Amino acid sequence: MSRSRFFAAECFQPLCRQGRILLLVASFCVCAIAADAAELERGDCGKCHSEKVRVLTVAGGPHATEVGCLDCHPQHPPRSGTAFRACDECHQSRPHYEIGGCRHCHTDPHQPLVSLRDPLKPMRLECLSCHPEVGRQMNENPSRHGELYCTRCHSRHKEVSTCLDCHEPHLANQTNPDCGTCHPTHAPLRIVPAGHVPSRFCQVCHAQAARDLAATKTNHGGINCLYCHQGPHRSIPDCQTCHGLPHAPSIHRQHRGCLNCHGGAHHLISNR
Ligand code: HEC
Ligand code: HEC
Ligand code: HEC
Ligand code: HEC
Ligand code: HEC
Ligand code: HEC
Ligand code: HEC
Ligand code: HEC
Ligand code: HEC
Ligand code: HEC
Ligand code: HEC
Ligand code: HEC
């Protein structure tokens, strides 16, 4: 490309963009932009678009190494109607590539990951294209959390808000990790308490059981609620799971229920 054409392009660039004016001034405007892409080589682009080359080199990733300017800009504008190739010409057959609106999130194709904008609009399907397991969990365990947009709780990618941002705890000084011992985040109604859950966490809602247990003189008194109430919330254990049939068969034949003599599980009566 000659130096003078180069120069002219810079000078008349605003004019060249307007087709009609271009006609009028055609005699002066030997416009570089009108050159065929075929004439421009990969190495040429940087002569006029050095900033783009810099950005791509620093943060383009595979868009710099595996793809070249000409792969995305097959014809040099403004001669061509399309200045660039659409994302889905190269990115296909993954759920994530079906969601469209690529540039809503990847705002600059020359640095597609660095420019990833944190979502400003409510989103759900877009997230599920890469996190299908979360969707499955929500479908299998319906709750009001499943009706919220993901971005209600994840306002930036990979960031999470905490339960206490939106809810009061059952008990003062319960912490966020405490919530997780009973409520899985994406399936908060699938309550299977696990790990260290102090009895006072149950006591908030089951005052009577806790009072009875505190009052009994028997060895049930010192036992943690979860030791007996294992598994999903509301499950009730059987005395025999832990004690079998401890008395003479005649006694058990005569009395179907242990509680005929032992009062109750929490307010246990025992003469031992
Ligand atoms: C001789 C200088 C020159 C060279 C070399 C050059 N361009 Fe351009 N290019 C321009 C000018 C001038 C414009 C219009 C600038 C503007 O409006 O910002 C332009 C515009 C563009 C545009 C934007 C079109 C639009 O619609 O906004 C793209 C994309 C582009 N060039 C890609 C390339 C690629 C790829 C190469 C290498 C194959 C290249 N250019 C080489 C001068 C050049
Ligand atoms: C992965 C595809 C891809 C590659 C590779 C790519 N571009 Fe682009 N480029 C685009 C897209 C898409 C746009 C449209 C951006 C817009 O509309 O803001 C664009 C816009 C441009 C523009 C005009 C808009 C602006 O931001 O000024 C220029 C100039 C440009 N590219 C130059 C280059 C050069 C030079 C290279 C190689 C060093 C290159 N591009 C590599 C996809 C690509
Ligand atoms: C000419 C082909 C082509 C076009 C057009 C294209 N890409 Fe790519 N892109 C690639 C290739 C090849 C890779 C590397 C392999 C892969 O990750 O699929 C890549 C990788 C990426 C990456 C991962 C970058 C990284 O650092 O790992 C993102 C994000 C991306 N492309 C987004 C886009 C977006 C958004 C568009 C449209 C604006 C687009 N691409 C257009 C070919 C293309
Ligand atoms: C809702 C926002 C959003 C939209 C819309 C979006 N992406 Fe992404 N994209 C992401 C996020 C988030 C990542 C993961 C970044 C990371 O790994 O940190 C990503 C990663 C990628 C990657 C890198 C490969 C990978 O699996 O990590 C490619 C390629 C890509 N997107 C292409 C596209 C294309 C093509 C489109 C349009 C069909 C698109 N994206 C639309 C948010 C989006
Ligand atoms: C293109 C695929 C892609 C898209 C789209 C995407 N993510 Fe991700 N996301 C990833 C990858 C990859 C990771 C990193 C996983 C890892 O480190 O194990 C990640 C990590 C996360 C994490 C942190 C995981 C952890 O273990 O710390 C959260 C939370 C998250 N994404 C939520 C979202 C939300 C919400 C959206 C929608 C706004 C979304 N993601 C869109 C690919 C994606
Ligand atoms: C009610 C708030 C809330 C909603 C709604 C929500 N999340 Fe989360 N998410 C969290 C919290 C809190 C964590 C971190 C605690 C954890 O690891 O369980 C998390 C963790 C994650 C993780 C990483 C750990 C994991 O479980 O894989 C991903 C990925 C994720 N969320 C994606 C999503 C997606 C996708 C959606 C929408 C379908 C979504 N989230 C909706 C609060 C929420
Ligand atoms: C961004 C706010 C937000 C965050 C963060 C959040 N929630 Fe929620 N949660 C809600 C909303 C909204 C509802 C629907 C009921 C309502 O309007 O109060 C809800 C409902 C619930 C329900 C009842 C579900 C139902 O279907 O009835 C439980 C249990 C729950 N949340 C526990 C948690 C736990 C545990 C955490 C932390 C892992 C958490 N939430 C984090 C907003 C949030
Ligand atoms: C010891 C287990 C346990 C812990 C720890 C726990 N929860 Fe709960 N939570 C429950 C049970 C059980 C329910 C009632 C479910 C039902 O009605 O069947 C519930 C109900 C809820 C509800 C539904 C609305 C309501 O109040 O009725 C919200 C919201 C909630 N919990 C938030 C939290 C938060 C936030 C934390 C952490 C500070 C937390 N929970 C800690 C067991 C627990
Ligand atoms: C030694 C084992 C054991 C311990 C410890 C225990 N429970 Fe129970 N719980 C049982 C058994 C067995 C039943 C069923 C007995 C019955 O039918 O009266 C039961 C019944 C219940 C019931 C339903 C009937 C009722 O009395 O309201 C609730 C609620 C309950 N337990 C809560 C708790 C709480 C809360 C704690 C801890 C403060 C706790 N339990 C500690 C064994 C135990
Ligand atoms: C947020 C309040 C809340 C918390 C915390 C809570 N529960 Fe419950 N629990 C309930 C509700 C509500 C019911 C259903 C009440 C009913 O049916 O009478 C219930 C029912 C039960 C039942 C079955 C009662 C029956 O009569 O069938 C058991 C057993 C039980 N809970 C044990 C526990 C244990 C053990 C903990 C601690 C790990 C706990 N709960 C924590 C609210 C709670
Ligand atoms: C999850 C196991 C478990 C369940 C269920 C359970 N117990 Fe116990 N029980 C214990 C343990 C542990 C002790 C204390 C160790 C001991 O004294 O042998 C105990 C002690 C006792 C004692 C002797 C208490 C004393 O101090 O004299 C009696 C009587 C008893 N249980 C009756 C029952 C009856 C009746 C039920 C059903 C309502 C029941 N248990 C349910 C675990 C359990
Ligand atoms: C007819 C009344 C009666 C019935 C029914 C009964 N018990 Fe007892 N149980 C007693 C008496 C009285 C004692 C204390 C005397 C003793 O030491 O054997 C006792 C003691 C126990 C002890 C403590 C004994 C030890 O060796 O530590 C356990 C555990 C126990 N019972 C469990 C059960 C279970 C489980 C059932 C139901 C399957 C049951 N009992 C039914 C009257 C009964």
Domain count, the chain: 3
Same domain, 10 and 74: yes
Q: Which residues line ligand 7 (CB under 6 A)?
A: 143-145, 148, 152-153, 161, 163, 165-167, 179, 183, 185, 188-189
Residue 108 lies in a domain: no
Q: Give the largest Cα separation in the chain, rounded.
A: 118
**pLDDT tens, residue by residue, 152-180:** 999 888 999 999 999 999 999 999 999 99
Could you say which ligand is closest to the alpha carbon of residue 154?
5
Which of 31, 63, 84 corresponds to the end of one domain?
Answer: 84
**Per-residue pLDDT averaged across 65-86, rounded?**
78
Same domain, 224 and 176: no
Measured CA to CA, the distance from residue 31 to residue 46 in angstroms comes to: 17
Residue 49, Cβ density class (10 Å: 0-12 exposed, 13-18 middle, ≥19 buried): middle
Which of 84, 103, 138 corresponds to the end of one domain?
Answer: 84
* Range(s) of the domain holding residue 233: 199-262
**Per-residue pLDDT averaged across 202-229, rounded?**
95
Mean pLDDT of the chain: 84
Residue whose CA is at the smallest distance from ligand 8 atom 6: 179
Which of 134, 150, 182 corresponds to the end of one domain?
Answer: 182
Same domain, 230 and 203: yes
Q: Kindly state if the Cβ of 128 falls inside 6 Å of ligand 6.
A: yes
Same domain, 68 and 134: no
Residue 20 lies in a domain: yes
Same domain, 213 and 171: no
**pLDDT tens, residue by residue, 111-143:** 999 888 877 678 899 899 999 999 999 999 999
Residue 139 lies in a domain: yes
Q: Kindly state if the Cβ of 108 falls inside 6 Å of ligand 5.
A: no
Same domain, 71 and 20: yes
Residue 95 lies in a domain: no
Could you say which ligand is closest to the alpha carbon of residue 203?
9
Same domain, 78 and 133: no
Phi and psi angles of residue 106, each rounded to the nearest 5 degrees, phi first: -90, 80
Residue 64 lies in a domain: yes
Tell whether the model's pLDDT for residue 9 goes beyond 90: no
Q: Which segment of 17-21, 69-73, 148-152, 199-203 scores lowest on mean pLDDT?
A: 17-21
Same domain, 208 and 175: no
Measured CA to CA, the distance from residue 52 to residue 1 in angstroms comes to: 20
Same domain, 77 and 142: no
Could you say which ligand is closest to the alpha carbon of residue 165?
7
For residue 37, give the ligand 1 atom closest to its CA.
38
**Distances in whole angstroms, Cα of residue 57 to Cα of each of 44, 46, 72, 237:** 15, 11, 15, 65
Pocket test for ligand 11, best of 268, 269, 271, 272 (most atoms within 8 A of CB): 268
Per-residue exposure over 105-130, b if at least 16 CB sit within 10 Å of its own CB, e if not:
bbebbbbbeeeeeebeeebbebbbee
Residue 113 lies in a domain: no
Residues 87, 132, 161: CA angle, nearest 5 degrees? 100
Residue 31 lies in a domain: yes
**Per-residue pLDDT averaged across 22-50, rounded?**
58
Can you tell me whether residue 116 is helix, strand or coil?
Answer: strand
Please write down the long-range contacts of 117-125, taking CB distance under 8 Å and 24 or more positions apart.
Answer: 118/155, 118/156, 118/157, 119/151, 119/155, 119/157, 121/151, 122/149, 122/151, 122/152, 123/149, 123/150, 123/151, 124/149, 124/150, 124/151, 125/99
Residue, of 9 and 173, whose pLDDT is higher: 173
Same domain, 138 and 73: no
CB count in 10 Å sphere of residue 95:
11
Residue 50 lies in a domain: yes
